[in-house]
Amino acid sequence: MNDISDLPEIVERREKVEKAIKEILSHGEYEPLLRGMQRYPFAGGKRWRPVFAMLTADCVAGAGEKAMLFGIALELIHNFTLVHDDIMDMAETRRKIKCIHADKTIHPDEHYRLAYAIDVGDALFAKGFEILGNVDASDAIVRRLLKETAKMVLGIAEGQQMDMDFAQRYNISEEEYLKMIEKKTALMFRTAAMGGAIIADGTERQIESCAEFGTLVGIGFQIADDIIDLLGNPEITGKARGGDIKEGKRTLIVVHALANASESQRKKIVSVLGNRFATPEEIEESIEILKNTGSIKYAEKVAVEFSLRAKECLKVLPNNREREILNMFADFMVHRIK
Amino acid sequence: MNDISDLPEIVERREKVEKAIKEILSHGEYEPLLRGMQRYPFAGGKRWRPVFAMLTADCVAGAGEKAMLFGIALELIHNFTLVHDDIMDMAETRRKIKCIHADKTIHPDEHYRLAYAIDVGDALFAKGFEILGNVDASDAIVRRLLKETAKMVLGIAEGQQMDMDFAQRYNISEEEYLKMIEKKTALMFRTAAMGGAIIADGTERQIESCAEFGTLVGIGFQIADDIIDLLGNPEITGKARGGDIKEGKRTLIVVHALANASESQRKKIVSVLGNRFATPEEIEESIEILKNTGSIKYAEKVAVEFSLRAKECLKVLPNNREREILNMFADFMVHRIK
């Protein structure tokens, strides 16, 4: 499966987004805070959310340019969630650079860095909503986007809380897991795709299909991410394998394994899950067990099912090049693990 | 000076706000997060921001009811900033209850509580913007409110960062201090007062006057708060005297004292400022010095000046009972120290 990130139609849009983000985050009234706000957004990222919003807007009515600013609002909000999530997850690195709260070059005092990271996240959140107010669309559309985006952030906060709470339980059901990632990850893809269709003045049926497409692709994306955490090449992903295991995340793979493992396998998994001091050998051993229980294969199968369902949603959209790319996107999202 | 919080016109509005907040925060999709979101808003608070928005809206065109929901959006955002600020300031109590991050009954693990408090704040932030989308006003007005509110939150984050950064310096100027509290505190009063006038479809001149009134009253309010921290009765304020000194806050009083104290007074102040282990005796001794340098008197004088300037702004508004109350409000804000 080719990496669709390199498709000219994606690259072109991403470059426009990149340029606009640089401009938007180039000025602020308090330089020390601005520097913090620039950190994650300037450290890379595929800009899938804005590209996604532009693609659906272009697909529905060639309105990609108008949707870009909305997509950037989501990208800033996405970056706000990353900054805060990294504190909550006690992460050390992100996009190959130190997390804000973990970077001693920012400030020697740990509490100062923590406070700074919280404030930087809040500022990115606010900046996202400020950008939303400037979207080139009617007031009625902007109001609708405001409602959807605010509801989205609330849902993401709920998903994040579920994620933290689930890490303390061993009886998470597949249904609970899916609800959690639907909120934590898929809601943003949903809002991006839906927002593009709203800005393009699509029919309610098109808007709803784009929303559903975003949800299904987003769920597939997260399941694939969970698999990449276990099987990915650290040199490419920029982080050590099995980070989710150390953090005790209840991924679909773990949920499946806890329900299907033998007693001795289960014991081993439980001993490593959420153990921040687990050795690389213990992590690799756990990954082996997750393979042996068929849990990784199972997760792959589920991800592919979501991808297939996502592609079904596209059928009500105009049949054009953008629809083709969205279709490839659904494939790529779950197949980037291969 | 009578406490205007007990005026029937204030009480009546506050009770409506109270009821609406209870209703708005009574349902959510994830109960454990919802409980956290309820905590600060349900623990009290004078609801000045919504009352303020309702008063200006009523003053301009009897539109207080329509402005209530906007005021509540601000109140939720205000509560979000309190939750996050309390983490940043390492506060222990707020409104006579334990801060979320400090309450062991929520969870025994310190990091869990920290993460929870961050997430609760984010959720209140999102809820505020969701409410904004539902304000009973035209789409054009809602869009304007969105822009103003987002800009406000960004400014508050800047003010918060300045506050933290200033605590590491001894050469803060009065101008820097005023800029900081204008962002951190006054912006929200500004947006409340201005928003009321916008919703009431006031003239641009009325809107601008309300905005300016809010700014000036907000600055006076913060200076008065700084004085209350030093002179207030702990049984009434619900917190120990001199908390700001322990936290190393550069209030107007401290800024004035550092510039005007004798060498030995300055030494004493510096030794206690930002010292979390300062004894009550050391705190009282510092307060005595701040009195002797004339710094508290000076701050009182400045607060009164802001209050007078605020009252000037009201002159372009219709001369009615609400304007009278806004006028009393400006007096009360700075005189509640007496």
Quickly state the pLDDT bin for A337 (edges 50, 70, 90). Answer: low
pLDDT at residue A2, rounded to an integer = 64
Helical residues (DSSP H) of A25-138, grouped into ranges: 31-42, 48-61, 64-88, 110-132
Res A137 pLDDT > 70: yes
* C-beta atoms of A122 and B161 within 8 A: no
Q: Give A313's Cβ-side CA count (13 Å radius).
A: 24
Whether residue B96 contacts residue B238, with contact meaning beta carbons closer than 8 Å, is answered with yes
Cα–Cα dist A158/B35, whole Å: 12
Distance from CA of B337 to the nearest CA of A (A): 30
- Per-residue model confidence as pLDDT tens digits over A234-258: 887 777 889 899 989 999 999 999 9
Q: Do B104 and B63 form a contact (C-beta atoms < 8 A)?
A: no
Measured in angstroms, the CA of A225 and the nearest CA of chain B are apart by 22
Minimal C-alpha gap between A202 and chain B (Å): 19
Q: What is the pLDDT of residue A94?
A: 86
User: B-chain residues within 8 Å CB-CB of A165?
Assistant: 32
Task: Answer whether B142's CB lies under 8 Å from B133's CB.
Answer: yes
Q: Which of A126, A133, A158 lies at the smallest CB-CB distance from B153?
A: A126
Q: What mean pLDDT is reported for chain A?
A: 95
Cβ pair B115:A146 closer than 8 A: no
To the nearest whole Å, the CA of B43 is away from the closest chain A CA by 22
The reported pLDDT for the residue numbered A335 is 79
How many Cα atoms are found within 13 Å in the side-chain-facing hemisphere of B112?
19
CB-nearest to B32 from A90, A130, A161 is: A161
Question: Pick from B30, B118, B164: which is nearest to A88 by CB?
Answer: B118
How far is Cα A268 from Cα A145, in angstroms, rounded to an integer?
47
Domains of chain A: 4-335 (1.10.600.10)
* pTM of the predicted structure, to 2 decimals: 0.96
C-beta atoms of B126 and A29 within 8 A: no
Class of residue B291 by CB neighbours under 10 A (exposed 0-12, middle 13-18, buried 19+)? middle
Contact call for residues B73 and B149 (beta carbons, < 8 A): yes
A141-161: b or e for each residue (b if 16 or more CB lie within 10 Å)? bbbbbbbbbbbbbbbbbbbbb
With CB atoms and an 8 Å threshold, state whether B162 touches A30: yes
Q: DSSP secondary structure string, B121-161?
A: HHHHHHHHHHHHHT-SS-HHHHHHHHHHHHHHHHHHHHHHH
CB contact under 8 A, B119 and A164: yes
pLDDT at B326: 97
Comparing alpha-carbon positions, the chain B residue that sits nearest to A87 is B115
Instruction: Give which of B143, B164, B183, B191 to mutate to test A binding, by max A Cβ within 10 Å.
Output: B143
CB contact under 8 A, B164 and A28: no
The residues near A247 (Cβ < 8 Å, ≥ 6 apart) are A89, A90, A167, A274, A276
3-state secondary structure of A94: strand
Tokens of B70: 């906007």
> What does the alpha-carbon distance between residue A93 and residue A238 come to, in Å, rounded to a whole number?
8
pLDDT confidence band for A338 (50 / 70 / 90):
low
**pLDDT for A93:** 87
How long, in residues, is chain A? 338
Give the model's pLDDT for residue B19.
Answer: 97
A159-183 average pLDDT score:
96
* C-beta atoms of A158 and B88 within 8 A: no
* Model confidence at A48: pLDDT above 80: yes
Query: Which pLDDT tens digit goes with each residue over A61-91?
Result: 999 999 999 999 999 999 999 999 999 988 8
Q: Nearest chain A Cα to B36, which residue?
A: A161
Nearest to B120 by CA among A240, A161, A5, A141: A161
* Digit-coded pLDDT (tens) for A10-36: 999 999 999 999 999 999 999 999 999
Q: Do A138 and B134 touch (CB under 8 A)?
A: no
The pLDDT, as a whole number, for residue A45 is 87
What is residue B231's predicted lDDT score, i.e. its pLDDT? 93
Question: What is the model's pLDDT at position B337?
Answer: 65
Nearest Cβ partner for A126 among B130, B134, B157: B157
Cα–Cα distance, A103 to A107 (Å, whole number): 7
Alpha helix ranges (H) inside chain B: 8-24, 31-39, 48-61, 64-88, 110-133, 139-166, 174-181, 187-199, 204-231, 234-237, 243-246, 252-260, 263-272, 280-292, 295-313, 321-335
Question: What was the pLDDT predicted at A293?
Answer: 96
ipTM above 0.90, yes or no: yes
Q: What pLDDT, on the 0 to 100 scale, is given for residue A334? A: 82
DSSP at B261: S
Q: Which residue does chain A place closest to B159, by CA atoms? A: A30
B-chain residues near A106 (CB < 8 A): none
Instruction: Say if the Cβ atoms of A127 and B149 lie within 8 Å.
Output: no
Q: H helices of chain A, where?
A: 8-24, 31-42, 48-61, 64-88, 110-132, 139-166, 174-181, 187-199, 204-231, 234-237, 243-246, 252-260, 263-272, 280-292, 295-313, 321-335
B84–A118: do the CB atoms touch at under 8 Å? yes
Which residue type occupies B166? F
Q: How far is B232 from chain A (nearest CA, A)?
A: 28
Sign of the Cα pseudo-torsion (A83, A85, A90, A96, in order): negative
Q: How large is the angle between the packed helices B204-231 and B280-292, nearest 10 degrees?
A: 120
- Best of A72, A82, A129 to substitute, by most chain B Cβ atoms within 10 angstroms, is A129
CB contact under 8 A, A147 and B157: no
Determine whether the interchain pair A123/B158 forms a contact, defined as Cβ–Cβ distance below 8 Å: yes
pLDDT at A274: 92
Mind listing the pLDDT tens digit of every residue in chain B (338 residues)? 468 889 999 999 999 999 999 999 999 999 999 999 999 999 988 999 999 999 999 999 999 999 999 999 999 999 999 999 999 988 888 888 899 999 999 999 999 999 999 999 999 999 999 999 999 999 999 999 999 999 999 999 999 999 999 999 999 999 999 999 999 999 999 999 999 999 999 999 999 999 999 999 999 999 999 999 999 888 877 778 898 999 899 999 999 999 999 999 999 999 999 998 999 999 999 999 999 999 999 999 999 999 999 999 999 999 999 999 999 999 998 887 65
